[in-house]
Chain A
Amino acid sequence: MSATQPRCLFPLANRPLLSYTLEFLASCEVKHVYVYCCHLAGQVKDYLSKSKWMKESSPCKVTPIVSADFTSLGDVMRDVDQKSLFESDFLVVPGDIVSNVQLKIPLEEHRIRREKDKNVPLMTLLMSKSSPKHRLRSQEDTVVIASDSITKRVLHYHKGCEQKKVMFPMSIFENPLHKVEIRYDLIDSGIWICAPQVPTLFTDNFDYQTQLDFVKGILINEEFLGNQIHMHVIDSQYCARVNNLHTFDVVSKNVVSRWTYPFVPDFCYDDLDSKSEGRYTLLRHNVYIHQDCSLEHDTVVRDNCIIGPKTRIGNRCQITNSVIGAGCKIADDCCIDNCYIWDNVEIGNCCTLNKSVICNNVHMLEKVTLEAHCALCEKVKIGPNCTLQRGTTIYLQMNNDEESIKKSFDVGEVGNEGQGYVWKTEDNDDINDLEQAFWGMSLQDYHNTVSESQIEEEESDADSDLLSDDEDDAENLELLTIDDDLTIFQREVKESLLGGFEEKIDCDNLILEINSSKYAYNMSVKDVVQTVMRASLEIADLRKTSDKDFFPCLKSILLYLTPLLCKYNKSSSSQLDYLYTLEEFASQHEQTANVMVKILMFLYENDVVCEEVILHWNSNPKGLAGDLFAQPIRKKV
């Protein structure tokens, strides 16, 4: 869904998400917002330029900053630092927040803390309170926080719920003055009140990508850097992020049932956007009907519904708990329950839709049935006479190669005149997994437009300068990160080594670099050892001019890297790992096999590996596929 439309422009109760965020900021008297746009930045910028925010009358100044290169919050913050946008405290807000919180109290708390001690309190995280079984929670967002209940200082931050037990470092209980409280009833709203040093810290620690990296890094280094993080718990006001379909569903419902007042559909948003001209009328049981839509006589709209402008709905339809966008055409005898239908959707006669999301410009022909948790992406065409199983996702455009592989549409799935592909995960067997992933459990790879907005707040509250940035990830990159940290790590190490070798950087710096990557990707020592060895062999292979040239080339590299290799050879098992990697590589690479003895000799002479380890290795073949090759190598040795 987010391939063609950035997440922050998804219509939530018929208004783009970003507008909720900006309205929220304006209501907090924020004066200047910088919006960082990345994924599909053009669309975000277009939207902003047409919206009221760019007009003279706008309550706050909105400056879009466009860059497709930013892939994470870390990049954005480093850019903020580079441009030195702020000299005083500022706010960071994700572009997908729906909230009616008044920031006065947390800002004041933050200010008092900062006045007391200039450098120590770094930022305040805003958390919203919700019990563990609250609908707004999605599992992936589970956070556990240990904090001091008096000073509200965050002592430990844990994210995720994979493990059965959460481990708290004992050090947080050391100070008897802290009344340590463990909170499981919080949702991280993503709103930060930051001191101006925050962007600098991101620059200093180039491996910080996400908010989690940053918070963890600060907490771990608390002793050296002396920075502290505090939190503010939002108790009675509404604050939620829309970062997956599950929260999209829940937040939409909350908007319809007016939890987010004043940001409700019938609020006078004074938009001049042609689409939303005219007003919604609120009928009882939270039914909002736009002035400019037409419903036929026998159609029933009940309970928590929104019908957008210029939408036509035919006879005998039943619509419950659904949001229908602008310019939709719904024919006769349809039954729509718990659905989100975006703009310009056409639905034929006798369709039944349950708990699904239907994006812009979808066309459904007659007698289509959607079981729960389906999603139809932009411009998909379905039907006639077909039923989509529970949890099916149909898409039409995809930027990657998949399109070319699957040329024809599966008529069985999408109907005779249908256009669209069934979306499958890599291991596409388990439909439950997919459904769960889709509806908000571990949605990362599908729906990962991360929007981050960031707002600056000058010390004086009312006439403050503000900035917000909105930034959407390039989908592909995120996918890669999730896929395989190891591959990225290997590539990174190889690049560092290659660069280091070419520019003759001091080995100590390389060690530092590799170590930081190690922590960034959470690699074990074993991985590091194997990667380093492998990388040096590959570099040698890359640089050789002829086959004969291989060993001298390798030798010069190894000689250069000796301090580095020695750094990781502390235990005999690490040394053994060197050798096994060498062997594995040699089994696939003939030249290496030819000079194996020389390499071993070299490693031995430079004290990288000791004699016992070589002997041990020689007498203990590892059951790898390369055994056949390994034999001759061993013999040679």
Chain B
Amino acid sequence: MELQAVVMAGGRGSHMLDLTQGLRPKPFVLVGNKPLIWYTINMLEGAGFSEAIIITLNCVKTHMELVLKEFNMITKVIGISEESDLDTVDSLCLIKDLIKSDVVVLSCDLITDLPFHRLADVHRLHDSSVTMLLCPAKADIENIPGVKQKKKGQQKQREFIGLCPTERLNQRILFLLNEADLEDDLLPVNQSLMREFPKFQVRTDLHDTHVYLFKKWMINYLTHNKMRSSLRSEVLPYVVQKQFAKSNRFQNGTGEGETNIKMDVNDIFSYVDEDSEKDFIYDLTLAPHERKVNSKSITCYAYIYEEGLCMNVNNISLYMEANRVVSKPDSTFLNIQTRVHPSSRVDEKSQVGADCLVGERTEIAERTSVKRTIVGRNCTIGSGVRLSNCVIMDRVHIDNGSNLNGCILCDDVVIGEKCDLKDCFVGDQKKLTAMTRLSKESLVESQAMMEFE
């Protein structure tokens, strides 16, 4: 087994609390009437993985197993307790005994049509310690349901990624710096680094998809050094930086013989695999002065997936976007034969567009038009209703003559007659009286006020 897959599904979805509160933690948020985790597992299965380890909260373990029954691959669901507040690194440590080879770590909110082998090829080609998947960041969409207006001044923290192209889309990562860590609005770059890589790019327009390929030794290192708790914000920048540090062990180790070398738990280099074959090849091929290069080096590469779709559904805006994308007529994510489930009933006089999805046992009355909308299960939609750009979850009732545009309606919502809603977010079990007119409102229980990035 060349690669093992670990899916991090223990997140609570803190950037879209409205959606994830109650009985719907992040992996089970429905996108195109499929839980989010389905997309990740589907991608892995398509890529040829026969096994996956899924880390999730204890309380949803059984639910998770239920969802995963659909797949042929062997899945191992590991539950973590809600209170322990484990971070990504801790979670990895928890399953260290299950990891036998290099590992790909991904987040459950990933939706992508990436041919996975491309990423794996970068990993194989450069024998990199860490390979990460990047994609161009998307501009925020306007009219997020339930958000009045964009909060100004809350500009996103930029991430500065120094990339040195090796091939067209595989790039060596030279540094990862967050804007917050920089002083005086200055970006420092070491001269020694520039000497080694005299031409490189600084990108701020890339989005980290939280897909990482780690070498096996990295997991060993992580389990022994638990100081760092977040893969993204602590471990990766550290490893990237260590690429250019000198390996102490190599310097004093070769002459003295293996026995004298103590395993230094803090030194990342003591975990790096020795590769005698590579050393041998270097010996044969490199000129003496170049032979300093040794197989015990740390290398970080990135693959930039530019042409296709790649997104992390971690806020409301991306949630809308994801729904739209997967239900497009030419979408390859869902193997859709019938856009309207056979058990649903749509009146002949109603129109359901080719970019819509309608779930099981839903009823749509006459003279209703549904465009670019996803309708969940067991919904009833009255006559003369217009729906466009909406996401409607399960057991929603919409009365006659309502007009909804760009809204998200959660489970068990009831909309009265002739309501007119635009860009609204309607939380679970909300009931709107007839003739309600709202725009850009968020109707949720007060306990979970929305917090956006």
Q: State the A residues within 8 Å of B (CB).
A: 131-133, 144, 146, 149, 161, 163-171, 173, 176, 179-185
Q: List 25 A-B contacts (CB under 8 A).
A: A131-B198, A132-B194, A133-B195, A164-B190, A164-B191, A165-B190, A166-B190, A166-B191, A168-B186, A168-B189, A168-B202, A169-B186, A170-B185, A170-B187, A171-B185, A173-B202, A173-B204, A180-B201, A181-B201, A181-B202, A182-B194, A183-B198, A183-B199, A184-B191, A185-B199
Contact A184 B190, beta carbon cutoff 8 Å = no
Which B residues between 202 and 249 are near A, CB-CB below 8 angstroms? 202-205
Question: Closest CB of chain A to B198's CB: distance in Å?
Answer: 3
Q: Max chain A CB contacts within 10 Å: which of B184, B188, B192?
A: B188
Contact A170 B179, beta carbon cutoff 8 Å = yes
Residue of A nearest to B139 (CB): A176
Question: Closest CB of chain B to A369's CB: distance in Å?
Answer: 31
Question: Closest CB of chain A to B246's CB: distance in Å?
Answer: 15
Instruction: Given contacts A165-B191, A182-B200, list 4 more A-B pairs with CB under 8 A.
Output: A133-B195, A166-B189, A181-B202, A182-B202
User: In the assembly, what is the distance between CA of A169 and CA of B183, in Å?
Assistant: 10
Given A170-B185, A173-B204: A163 touches B198 (CB 8 Å cut-off): no
Contact of A144 among B182, B184, B194, B204 (CB under 8 A): B194
Question: Closest CB of chain A to B268's CB: distance in Å?
Answer: 22
Contact B204 A166, beta carbon cutoff 8 Å = no
Contact B198 A184, beta carbon cutoff 8 Å = yes
How many chain B residues sit at the interface, stated as a range, is 20 to 34
Contact A165 B188, beta carbon cutoff 8 Å = yes
Q: How many A-B residue pairs have CB under 8 A?
A: 74
Q: State the B residues within 8 Å of A (CB).
A: 158, 160, 162, 179, 182, 184-192, 194-195, 197-205
Contact of B202 among A132, A165, A176, A180 (CB under 8 A): A180
Question: Closest CB of chain B to A277's CB: distance in Å?
Answer: 45
Contact B187 A132, beta carbon cutoff 8 Å = no
Contact B201 A167, beta carbon cutoff 8 Å = no
* Residues of chain B lying within 8 A (CB to CB) of residue A166: 188-191, 194
For chain A, what secondary structure do more than half of its interface residues adopt (helix, strand, loop), or is it mixed? Answer: mixed
Give me the 7 closest cross-chain CB pairs, A-B, nearest first: A185-B198, A184-B194, A167-B186, A184-B198, A165-B188, A168-B187, A170-B185
User: In the assembly, what is the distance between CA of A176 and CA of B206, in Å?
Assistant: 10
Contact B191 A173, beta carbon cutoff 8 Å = no
* Residues of chain A lying within 8 A (CB to CB) of residue B194: 132, 144, 166, 182, 184
Q: Max chain A CB contacts within 10 Å: which of B160, B189, B205?
A: B189
Contact B160 A173, beta carbon cutoff 8 Å = yes
User: In the assembly, what is the distance between CA of A184 and CA of B172, in Å?
Assistant: 17
Contact A176 B204, beta carbon cutoff 8 Å = yes
* Residues of chain A lying within 8 A (CB to CB) of residue B188: 165-168
* Residues of chain B lying within 8 A (CB to CB) of residue A171: 185
User: In the assembly, what is the distance between CA of A170 and CA of B159, in Å?
Assistant: 11
* Residues of chain B lying within 8 A (CB to CB) of residue A131: 198
* Residues of chain A lying within 8 A (CB to CB) of residue B179: 170
Given A132-B195, A182-B194: A149 touches B187 (CB 8 Å cut-off): no
* Residues of chain B lying within 8 A (CB to CB) of residue A184: 191, 194-195, 197-199
Residue of A nearest to B137 (CB): A176
* Residues of chain A lying within 8 A (CB to CB) of residue B195: 132-133, 184
* Residues of chain B lying within 8 A (CB to CB) of residue A169: 185-187
* Residues of chain B lying within 8 A (CB to CB) of residue A168: 186-189, 202
Residue of B nearest to A174 (CB): B204
Residue of B nearest to A161 (CB): B191
Residue of A nearest to B196 (CB): A132
* Residues of chain B lying within 8 A (CB to CB) of residue A146: 202
Contact of A165 among B189, B198, B200 (CB under 8 A): B189
User: In the assembly, what is the distance between CA of A168 and CA of B201, in Å?
Assistant: 13
Question: Closest CB of chain A to B1's CB: distance in Å?
Answer: 39
User: In the assembly, what is the distance between CA of A166 and CA of B202, in Å?
Assistant: 14
Residue of A nearest to B201 (CB): A181
Question: Closest CB of chain A to B201's CB: distance in Å?
Answer: 5
* Residues of chain A lying within 8 A (CB to CB) of residue B199: 181-185
Question: Closest CB of chain A to B15's CB: distance in Å?
Answer: 22
Question: Closest CB of chain A to B322's CB: distance in Å?
Answer: 23
Question: Closest CB of chain B to A247's CB: distance in Å?
Answer: 19
Contact A182 B190, beta carbon cutoff 8 Å = no
Question: Closest CB of chain B to A134's CB: distance in Å?
Answer: 10
User: In the assembly, what is the distance between CA of A502 and CA of B194, in Å?
Assistant: 53
* Residues of chain A lying within 8 A (CB to CB) of residue B184: 167
User: In the assembly, what is the distance between CA of A179 and CA of B195, in Å?
Assistant: 21
User: In the assembly, what is the distance between CA of A176 and CA of B192, in Å?
Assistant: 27
Contact B187 A179, beta carbon cutoff 8 Å = no
Contact of A173 among B187, B189, B198 (CB under 8 A): B187
User: In the assembly, what is the distance between CA of A166 and CA of B186, in Å?
Assistant: 9
User: In the assembly, what is the distance between CA of A528 and CA of B203, in Å?
Assistant: 40
